[in-house]
Amino acid sequence: MRVLVTGGGGFLGSRLAARLERDGHEVVVARRRDYDLTRMADTARLFADAGPELVYHLAAEVGGIGANRANPGRYWYANLMMGAHVLEQSRLAGTPKLVNFGTICEYPKYTPVPFSEDDLWNGYPEETNAPYGIAKKALLVGGQAYREQYGLNVVHLLPVNLYGPGDNFDEATAHVIPDLIRKMHDSPERIVLFGDGSPTREFLYVDDAVEGIVLAAERYDGAEPVNLGSGMEIAIRDLVDLVAELMGFEGEIAWDASMPNGQPRRRLDVSRAEALFGFRARTDFREGLERTIAWYREHAPAHAGA
């Protein structure tokens, strides 16, 4: 099959593209330097070049709490426009199937734990990432509308935070796990972290995410969104202690309580993914962290760290 992966040069997209190639597909990878998907003309050119039979829309502008607070307008606009353009071009091209990669940030701030897909509309998202989450949520509605009017088979996945080798460790946009690893590696004497460490988070290893996405494309054709996660939950303070242990970090850990915590708790009900397309995360969290840390130590700038 001829497959298009938007965001295919990124952390998740590159892993997905490699997996699809191993499975024998002809993969077209769309990178930002070649196609600006916030522009309809570029998106139309991409679809004309690719002629895809299946589209995985992974392209996004995203980051942690700090990046979301600094770029609320950009994150709303870019993610909404990219998704809308990919949806419309999929329709115009007669693409048989589109797999949209949403976000756990679509959920209301105070969603009962574990998050059930049925609770997605029962409140407003957490404020620091609401523009990003609402943009992605609009793509769920758009996909359902296109399915109803045009018969386009659009699948919408709701993943938790991903992590693993090759993650984004950029100081301005990294999520919590790569940010912790970079800080502990680069500043062995003292690090400062947002909030008070009380929120909980769920994490999914990148290769498990790839497996879930592929299974959804192969086995699921429904209109309802589906959670993609590991079903685990860990407090940020406990996560910090675990990363420190694995890295041998013995410096001071300071908490800046004047900065936001973000959503109080996050853990997904992952039963729908297992029931509908047989997905269950397999990677042990500690093992996944060890692999991620080892990758960063191998690829970190030589001048950084102790």
Annotated domain spans of the chain = 2-167+202-232+264-283
- Angle ∠(228,142,150) on CA atoms, nearest 5: 115
Cβ burial, residue 303 (10 Å; 0-12/13-18/19+) = exposed
Per-residue HEC secondary structure of the chain comes to CEEEEECCCCHHHHHHHHHHHHCCCEEEEECCCCCCCCCHHHHHHHHHHHCCCEEEECCCCCCCHHHHHHCHHHHHHHHHHHHHHHHHHHHHHCCCEEEEECCHHHCECCCCCCECHHHCCCCCECHHHHHHHHHHHHHHHHHHHHHHHHCCEEEEEEECEEECCCCCCCCCCCCHHHHHHHHHHHCCCEEEEECCCCCEECEEEHHHHHHHHHHHHHHCCCCCCEEECCCCCEEHHHHHHHHHHHHCCCCEEEEECCCCCCCCCCCECCHHHHHHHCCCCCCCHHHHHHHHHHHHHHHCCCCCCC
Q: What is the pLDDT of residue 246?
A: 98
Average pLDDT over residues 21-48: 97
Pairing of strands 200-201, 234-235: antiparallel
In which band, very low, low, confident or very high, does the pLDDT at 305 lie, cut at 50, 70 and 90?
very low
Q: Indicate whether 245 pLDDT > 50.
A: yes
Tell me which of 76-80, 171-175, 192-196, 202-206 is least confident: 171-175
In which band, very low, low, confident or very high, does the pLDDT at 250 lie, cut at 50, 70 and 90?
very high
Q: Indicate whether 77 pLDDT > 80.
A: yes
Amino acid at 173: T
Amino acid at 119: D
Average pLDDT over residues 232-243: 97
Q: Indicate whether 202 pLDDT > 70.
A: yes
Q: Indicate whether 172 pLDDT > 90.
A: no
Q: Indicate whether 263 pLDDT > 80.
A: yes
Q: What is the pLDDT of residue 109?
A: 94
**pLDDT tens digits for range 83-95:** 999 999 999 999 9
Q: What is the pLDDT of residue 248?
A: 97
Q: Indicate whether 31 pLDDT > 70.
A: yes
> Which residues, 6 or more positions from 304, have their beta carbon under 8 angstroms from its beta carbon?
185, 186
- Which of the residues 132, 146, 205, 220 is marked catalytic? 132
Average pLDDT over residues 140-163: 98
Q: How many residues does the chain have?
A: 306
Average pLDDT over residues 22-34: 96
Average pLDDT over residues 140-145: 98
The span from the CA of 285 to the CA of 160, in Å, is: 14
Please give the torsion angle defined by the CA atoms of residues 278, 279, 283 and 289, in that order, rounded to the nearest 10 degrees: 180
The span from the CA of 281 to the CA of 164, in Å, is: 14
Say what percent of the chain tops pLDDT 70.
Answer: 98
Q: Indicate whether 303 pLDDT > 70.
A: no
Q: What is the pLDDT of residue 65?
A: 84
Q: Indicate whether 306 pLDDT > 60.
A: no
In which band, very low, low, confident or very high, does the pLDDT at 26 lie, cut at 50, 70 and 90?
very high
In which band, very low, low, confident or very high, does the pLDDT at 286 lie, cut at 50, 70 and 90?
very high
Q: What is the pLDDT of residue 177?
A: 97
Q: Is 124 designated active site?
A: no
Q: Indicate whether 304 pLDDT > 50.
A: no
- pTM value is 0.93
Pairing of strands 153-159, 54-57: unpaired
- Classify domain 2-167+202-232+264-283 by CATH architecture: 3-Layer(aba) Sandwich (3.40)
Amino acid at 112: P
Average pLDDT over residues 237-255: 97
